[in-house]
Structures are given as C-alpha cells and as structure tokens.
Structure 1
Amino acid sequence: MATVRTSLDTAASADEAWAVIRDIGAVHTRLAPGFVTDTKLEPGARVVTFINGMVIREPIVTIDDEARRLVWTAEGGYATHYNASLQVSARADGGATVVWVADFLPDDVKPQLTRALEAGTRAMKQSLDKLVK
C-alpha cells in the first residue's frame, strides 16, 4: 500500500483551522475552494467534485474533536482503496500545522495522488491563511 503525506503551516490557530476542516460540507467554500468546486452531504458521507470534474463519494470514518482529526475513505477516482486523514496540531507561535496522510491501492497511482494532495494542500493553506486578520 502506498502513502502520500503533505503538510502545511498556517498562522491560523489550531482551533480556527479545525473549525474549517470539521465543516465537512463546506470543502468547496471554506477549506479548498478552487481545488474542490462542490460538496454535497449524504448520511455518513460527502460527495466532492474536484476542479478536474472528478466526483468522489467520501464516507466519513470519524470527526475527532479532541484530536482535531478527520478521517475518510473514498469511492471512485484513481484508487481501488483510499483512506485519508487530516489532523491539526497547535504550534508554539499560535499558528497550526495541518497534516494530510493518504494510504491507497494500487501503488502505481501514487504520482496522480501526490499531485492531487499537493494541489489540495496549497488550496487549504491559502484558505486557512485568510483566517488571520
């Protein structure tokens, strides 16, 4: 199983960043606009439309407020198996670090998923940085 890990540092506080990430129905407006163009909620899942037109159903595994961690899987797209998490950690300077880890099969889709996670991480950083006045 292959893994892609990206991270970003933002001046937004961990609480501010987590509030945006845990709002699972607003990926296209709050977390990653420009990377995600639409998000629709279903019972236990969200359906996400990406900038390239790909539509993926993402069952939500957990929203852990104490750990500031969101975990989901994906149905559709490049991978036959996909499990991912976003986790927010506070930094000593008052900002936050967000780590996105995705585990998937088959291994040979790693180049496509690496590009996607990197683009998504850039979009998230832009949105989270805008939270700081």
Structure 2
Amino acid sequence: MATVRVETVLSVPDHAVWEAVADVGAVHERLLPGRVAAVRMDGDTRVLTMPDGWEVRELIVAVDHDQRRLAYAVVEGQRLPLTYHHASFQVFPEPGGSRLVWTTDVLPHPMAAAVEARVSRGIEEIKQVLEAAQGVGNSSSGRSFM
C-alpha cells in the first residue's frame, strides 16, 4: 500500500482548524466550498456531491477530539481507479497557528502520484479557505479536486 502525506502550516489557531475538520457534514461550507457542492450524512457515511453532480461516499471511521484526528475511507464514487482509499486529517498546534496533516493510504501503488497531486491541491485550498475565514491569506481558487 502506498502512503501519501501532505501538510501545511496555517495562520489559524489549531482549535479553529480542528473545529472545521471535525464538522464532517460541512466540508462544502468550511473546507472546500466550490470543490464540494453539497454534503449529506447517512449514519456514519458522508455523501459528497461535486459541482458536476458526481457523488462520493465516505465512511467516517473516527473523529478523535483528543488527538484532533479525523479518519475516513472512500467506499464508492472515486474517479481514480483505486481499490483502496483510507485517509486522515490531523491538526497540531504550531507557533502562530497550526499544522494540518493529510495522510492517505491507497492501492494500487502506482496511483500514489495522482492521489498526491490531488491532495496537495486540496490542502492548499483548505488553507486558503480557513485563513480567509480568519481574515488572512487569499481565498481565491478555481481548481478541481476529485
């Protein structure tokens, strides 16, 4: 299994970043507006609707407030030919802000580069959105993710 790990430092307090990440039903509002059009929860499954109508189903595996870690697995609707996709976000305090780490385990191995390109763009978009909500940074982004 290939592991992709990307991270970014934000000028946003760790508690504020964690609040946004842990709000699993509000990805479209708090983390990736424009990239995710809508979210609905079906028990422990989060259904993301993309702007073109495509849906992705994710099983929310864990929301650990003590560790500030969210884990999820994509179970249906991936656009990439993956046979396995499990990911987590973790938030750490950092002087003057926080560090957001996005770790993704994928199969097959050769798909790691494509996944890394997407999550790298995604984490930068998340940073822009969260910093703009705090009044810092530039929140403009028109890139496509999933």
Task: Give the TM-score of the pair, scaled to structure 1.
Answer: 0.91
Listed as ranges, the gaps of 5+ residues in structure 1 are none
**Residue 111 of structure 1, aligned match among 110, 113, 124:** 113
8 A Cα contact 1:60 1:71, kept in partner? yes
- Tell me how far 1:107 sits from its aligned partner: 1.1
Secondary structure class of the residue paired with 1:75: strand
Return the offset for 1:34: 2.4
Give the Å deviation of 1:52.
6.3
Q: Would the aligned equivalents of 1:12 and 1:131 in 2 still touch at CA under 8 Å? A: no
Deviation track 1:100-132 (CA, whole Å, cap 9, x = no partner) reads 000011112223212211121121011110232
Within a 5 Å distance, the mapping from 1:1-133 to structure 2 comes to: 1-51=1-51, 54-76=54-76, 77=78, 78=80, 79-93=82-96, 95-133=97-135
CA distance in 1, matches of 2:34, 2:133: 17
Aligned equivalents of 1:56, 1:66: Cα separation in 2 = 28
Q: CA deviation at 1:54?
A: 4.1
How much does 1:75 deviate? 1.3
Residues 35, 119 of structure 1: 8 Å contact kept: no
Cα deviation, residue 63, structure 1: 0.3
Given the two structures, how large is their TM-score scaled by the length of structure 2? Answer: 0.83
CA RMSD of aligned residues (A): 1.5
In 1, distance between residues paired with 2:44 and 2:59?
6
Identity level (%): 33
- In the TM superposition, what whole-angstrom CA distance separates every residue of 1:35-55 from its partner, at most 9, and x where no partner exists? 222211110110113456542
CA distance in 2, matches of 1:50, 1:3: 25
Between 1:106-115 and 1:17-26, the stretch displaced more is: 106-115
* Contact 1:7/1:98 (8 A) holds in 2: yes
Given that 1:74 and 1:82 are in contact with CA atoms closer than 8 Å, whether structure 2 keeps it comes out as: yes
* Greater length-normalized contact order (CA 8 Å, ≥ 6 residues apart): 1
For 1:71 and 1:62, how far apart are their aligned partners in 2?
5
